Amino acid sequence: MNVTVKNKKLDSWIKEAAAMCQPDAIYVCDGTREEYDRMMSKLLASGSAISLTKRSNSYLFRSDPSDVARVEDRTFISTSSKEEAGPTNNWIAPAELKATMRGLYKGCMKGRTMYVIPFSMGPIGSPISKIGVEISDSPYVVVNMHIMTRVSSKVLALLDAGEDFIPCLHSIGAPLPPGQKDVPWPCAPMESKYISHFPEENLIWSYGSGYGGNALLGKKCLALRIASAMARREGWLAEHMLILRLTSPEGKQYHIAAAFPSACGKTNLAMMQPSVKGWKCECIGDDIAWMKVGGDGRLHAINPESGFFGVAPGTSYSTNPMAMDTIGKNVIFTNCALTDDGDAWWEGMTDDVPAHLIDWKGRDWTPESKADAAHPNARFTAHASQCPVICKDWEKPEGVPIDIFIFGGRRGSVVPLVYEAYSWEHGVFLGATAASETTSANIGAVGNLRRDPFAMKPFCGYHMGDYLHHWLAMGERLGSRAPRIFYVNWFRKNGDGKFLWPGFSDNSRVLKWMCERVDGKAGARETPIGLMPREEDLDLAGLSLTPPDMQELMSVNIAEWKAEIPDIEAHFATFGERLPERLKHQLQDLVKRLG
């Protein structure tokens, strides 16, 4: 080991993991640029990384075709009873799961180095932050964790001083016998993959996958599944939400946290350039928000991550110019295509499709090829500080005060552009019944309607019924200082299957109405589903929306909404006796309003 670890819990855990996994060497990371460059040189030499000559300090990786996304059916919440994990999680008893995984971990790092990665989720030393330590045998994980979290010797110093941490054990599950040549993306077969969480112990064990949130354990595993359980115990919120600051022409700041399922536009909204004159948007985070009640009685939020792990396909200068400027240099690309002049490319990136590419599987590709050049879930990893619209307060230790919560999803019909909850309780009902048509970020059929409460279905580390109780309790605690709650749908289509709303920068028009609602400056009309803007309440200046399209976009079809009720009832039934009574009453109230 290259440094002496003074934290007794950490030292003991490293020795335990090493005895089980049997690595050839142990290396404790310090988060320096020199370390990052050394790791990348190792990845280049092994053939895992491809240097992109068109982008400074940028690299392309190609995963094994079996290892391309979150694997929800191999993700487990292991609690003392199945009931505590709840109906939305896969459960295995802790003793059984640990026995299985210890068997897999035995000797799994032979021929490899065991990296010890001390990291902070959130600004180092912030009262809202948490420390984690990931043990991994993947240098790809090390370089990504450098970007996505705060890997630093300062974290090690806090640990040496006695700070507690969340242990995160990861292995790709591919021991390397002497003399055997490594492969560019080592991983275990699908049936051997396990992404396991033990929320009662604040413990994460992951085996077999080297991809994204399966391997970068600070991300969904710690920042949502474990943190959500910690937040419930400790009285705060860990949410799958972007955070942005919107500033009016008069200089008033509004902070908005929004929850959408993956690949439903969180990054685009977080980096939006408003089309409404005089309004300014700044990004604080694009994926996860941790929120605690401050001394002023309001919810204050931090982005626990330090980077973006964004979906590349569909990202372009027309959809998200700020993201494109963010990824001009110092980027890790995964499963994108490679251009002949040494750049990354993906579907939707440019209007002109290159005549020749090397696709994400390493094969020649032309426009006549049947398969996509980039995988639909191809990603970029870039540090948040590179974003041109990153907020100067994005690392403020005390966080920013949240004024507005937004829920939403991808719906081609039924759900209008925007509506406001009648109350906090109604807002929790909106979050609890949120639904979206599935995308390539989830494994499974694309386009199916999936109820995804608070966009947390894959990420809540305990019983979702208890999670809903926790949200209701937070509302009681916040009282009149609670954020206002809204629901949006940027994706409604007309009869020809075309999007009715232009989206992107024009979403600022909807956000402006929300801010004016908070200030009591904008009106609304009562509808069965919530408060909706009247035609004169939305700033539509310069938009070429036809009156019929606007009418369709803002319509509430009673018959369609009545048809939603059985699905909501079935959804609520899955939570059994743990569903809050107040949400049953909210559903009854909706039925009455629909008539």
Q: Looking up tokens 């115990």, which residue turns up?
A: 233
Q: Which residues pair with 334 in a beta bridge?
A: 61, 379
Catalytic, out of 108, 168, 264, 391:
264
> Sign of the CA dihedral 34, 35, 40, 46?
positive
Tokens standing for residue 412 = 């081609």
Measured in residues, the chain has a length of 595
Cβ contacts of 172 within 8 Å, gap of 6 or more: 136, 137, 138, 186, 187, 188, 208, 209, 210, 215
Of 416, 343, 434, 414, which Cα lies nearest the Cα of 380? 343
Of 365, 376, 415, which Cα lies nearest the Cα of 528? 415
Tokens standing for residue 250 = 């008069």
Q: Are 283 and 387 in contact (CB under 8 A)?
A: yes
Q: Looking up tokens 């020199």, which residue turns up?
A: 34
- SS3 of 297-313: CCEEEECCCCEEEEECC
Of 68, 70, 74, 21, which Cα lies nearest the Cα of 195? 74
Cβ contacts of 563 within 8 Å, gap of 6 or more: none
Question: Would residue 515 show up in a list of annotated catalytic residues for this protein?
Answer: no
DSSP state of 559: H
Q: Are 96 and 10 in contact (CB under 8 A)?
A: no
Cβ contacts of 477 within 8 Å, gap of 6 or more: 235, 293
C-alpha–C-alpha distance, residues 512 and 497, integer Å:
27
Give how far Cα 366 sits from Cα of 60, 345, 373, 451, Å.
Answer: 19, 13, 8, 38
**Angle at the Cα of 242 (from 509 to 125), degrees rounded to 5?**
135
Write out the catalytic residue numbers. Answer: 264
